Amino acid sequence: MRRLFCFIPILLIALTGCGVYSFTGANIEGKNINVHVLENHSPNVVPSLTSTLTEKIRSRILSQTGLAPVNSDNADYDLSGAITGYTVTISGAAGTQQVAKNRLTISVEITFKNRLNDKASFKQTFTRFSDFDGSQTLQNVENALIDDIGNQLADDIFNKAFVNW
């Protein structure tokens, strides 16, 4: 039992001495982040898309990092961007006259500033898509597709900014 009490402080020192660690693999050195509302530059504008994608990105970062959200130009991390694409295309056909699958594709251009390590800053476009059955209308599945694609985009942006994938 005495050995256990000696081992616990050593373990705590080892874990805290090697920098900030997260179970997500994220390396977080800062204390706060400013996540700006995404602008919508897409030719096809969906009214709720800006707020939905911004909130998914913000929630993913805050829930996985412990960073404090701030509205300040001198935050440790600053994330801004724009929705640059929102398109529906045919991704599969059944015969010559019938659409089997459609695809909703969303693209966002993100600018991430890491004020603690400028080499980790980036500007990149992230694109994700989700297919839906050709017999369904976009209006019937749009919210579910945006939710799915938004989660994928939030994961990609989080990983690029904090996990260096």
161, pLDDT greater than 80? yes
Residue 120 has, within 13 A of its CA and on its CB side, a CA count of 22
Q: How confident is the model at residue 26 (pLDDT cuts 50, 70, 90)?
A: confident
154, pLDDT greater than 80? yes
3, pLDDT greater than 80? no
pLDDT attached to residue 6: 47
Q: How confident is the model at residue 28 (pLDDT cuts 50, 70, 90)?
A: confident
pLDDT attached to residue 29: 87
pLDDT in tens, 51-106: 999 999 999 999 999 999 999 889 999 999 999 999 999 877 665 666 789 999 99
pLDDT attached to residue 23: 45
Q: Looking at the domain that runs over 2-163, which CATH code has it been given?
A: 3.30.160.150
pLDDT attached to residue 93: 65
How far apart (Å, rounded) are the C-alpha atoms in residues 85 and 42?
A: 5
CB 151 within 8 A of CB 157: no
Tokens of 61: 């970062």
pLDDT attached to residue 132: 94
pLDDT attached to residue 73: 86
pLDDT attached to residue 90: 85
pLDDT in tens, 116-148: 999 999 999 999 999 999 889 999 999 999 999
pLDDT attached to residue 141: 96
pLDDT attached to residue 94: 63
Closest C-alpha to 153, from 72, 61, 48? 61
DSSP string across the chain: -HHHHHHHHHHHHHHHHT----TT------SEEEEPPPEE--SS--TTHHHHHHHHHHHHHHHHH-PEE---TT-SEEEEEEEEEEEEEEEEEETTTEEEEEEEEEEEEEEEEETT-GGG-EEEEEEEEEEEETTS-HHHHHHHHHHHHHHHHHHHHHIIIII--
Domain spans of the chain, in order of start: 2-163
pLDDT attached to residue 48: 92
